[in-house]
Amino acid sequence: MAFASILRKSANSLAPLAIRLTRVQRNYHSCIFTALNHGFQSQQTTVNRYFHNTLHFSTAVGAKKPSSDESLIRVIESEIQCAEESDEHDQVEEAPSGFPFEIEDTPGLQTVTLRREYDGELITVTVHMPDLVTGEEQEGDEDYEDDSEKPTRSNIPLVVNISKKDSPSLEFSCTAFPDEITIDSLSVRNPDSEDQLAYEGPDFHDLDENLQKAFHKFLEIRGIKPSTTNYLHEYMINKDSREYLQWLKNLKKFVEE
C-alpha cells in the first residue's frame, strides 16, 4: 500500500512536468513553423517587390525612345521633306509617240520591265536604275585624246532578251547613254539548260566591226534605239526619286515603332 501511494504521488508530480514538456515542444514547433512561414513570406515579398520594380523599370525604358532614335527620326523627317519638295517623285513621263513597249513598273523594285512581240519574237527588256553623273564631273572632256579615258557619262544599264518559241534566246547586256547605245556582251541562252559554264562567246568589242554594226541594227529594228532609251532615262530618274521617298518613309516607320 505504501508502495502504491508512492507511485501515485510520483505520477501526480510527473504529470504536470510532462504536460509542460509537451507544451514546450508544441510551442517550439509552433515557433519553428511561424519563423519558417515568416521567412517564406518575407522572401516572397522580397521577390515580388524585386520583380515589380524590374517590370516597372522595363516599362519605363520601353515607353521612352532613346535620344539617338529621336535625333535619327528628325533627320529622316528632314530628308523626307526635301524629297517631297522635289518635282521628280510625282512626275509621270508620257511615252513618246510610237513607243513600242508595254511598261511593267512594280513599286518597291529597282528595275522596270519592257515587253513587246515582234515578228514571232518575244522581246523583254530589264531596265535598271540610272547611273547619274553631274555636269561638273563631265567638264574637261576635251582634254582626253582617247574616248576610253573620258569620264563616265550618265547611263542606264539594260538587259535585252529576245526569244522564239522552242528555241534558244539571245541576251544582250547594253548601256544606254544619251543618244547612244553600246552593246557590252552577247550570249546565247538555252532555256532547257542549267549549265552555268556554257560558252558565252567572245568579248563583243572583239567581234568584227561589221558584225557589231549589224547587231546594233538588229536591236534598233526591235525598238532598242536612242529615242526609246532617252525616254527611259527620264522615266528611271523619276522612279528612283519615288522609290527613295518611300524608302525614307519605311525607315521612319521602323524607327518609330
**Which pLDDT score is estimated for 207?**
94
Q: Write down the mean pLDDT value for the chain.
A: 76
- The predicted-structure confidence for 44-75, as pLDDT tens digits, reads as follows 444 444 444 444 444 444 556 778 888 999 99
Confidence of residue 96 (pLDDT cuts 50, 70, 90): confident
Question: Is the predicted pLDDT of residue 116 greater than 50, yes or no?
Answer: yes
Whole-number percent of the chain with pLDDT over 90: 47
Q: How far apart are CA 100 and CA 175, in angstroms?
A: 19
Question: Is the predicted pLDDT of residue 30 greater than 50, yes or no?
Answer: no
Q: How far apart are CA 153 and CA 131, in angstroms?
A: 8
Say how far residue 210 (Cα) sits from the centre of its chain. Answer: 45
Most confident of 78-82, 93-97, 206-210: 206-210
Flag the least confident range among 189-193, 213-217, 235-239.
189-193
**Which pLDDT score is estimated for 40?**
39
Question: Is the predicted pLDDT of residue 129 greater than 70, yes or no?
Answer: yes
Q: How far apart are CA 181 and CA 226, in angstroms?
A: 7
Point out which residues pair with 121 in neighbouring strands.
118
Confidence (pTM): 0.66
**Which pLDDT score is estimated for 85?**
85
**Which pLDDT score is estimated for 150?**
52
Question: Is the predicted pLDDT of residue 238 greater than 70, yes or no?
Answer: yes
Question: Is the predicted pLDDT of residue 2 greater than 90, yes or no?
Answer: no
Between 121 and 134, whose confidence is greater? 121
- The predicted-structure confidence for 34-45, as pLDDT tens digits, reads as follows 433 444 344 444
**Which pLDDT score is estimated for 194?**
64
**Which pLDDT score is estimated for 169?**
93
- The predicted-structure confidence for 173-201, as pLDDT tens digits, reads as follows 999 998 999 999 999 988 776 666 667 78
Question: Which residue carries 561638273 as its cell?
Answer: 136
Report which of 252, 253, 206, 257 is spatially closest to residue 73, judged by C-alpha positions: 252
Q: How far apart are CA 13 and CA 2, in angstroms?
A: 17
Q: How far apart are CA 35 and CA 33, in angstroms?
A: 5
Give the mean model confidence (pLDDT) for residues 110-117.
97
Q: How far apart are CA 236 and CA 131, in angstroms?
A: 10
**Which pLDDT score is estimated for 54?**
44
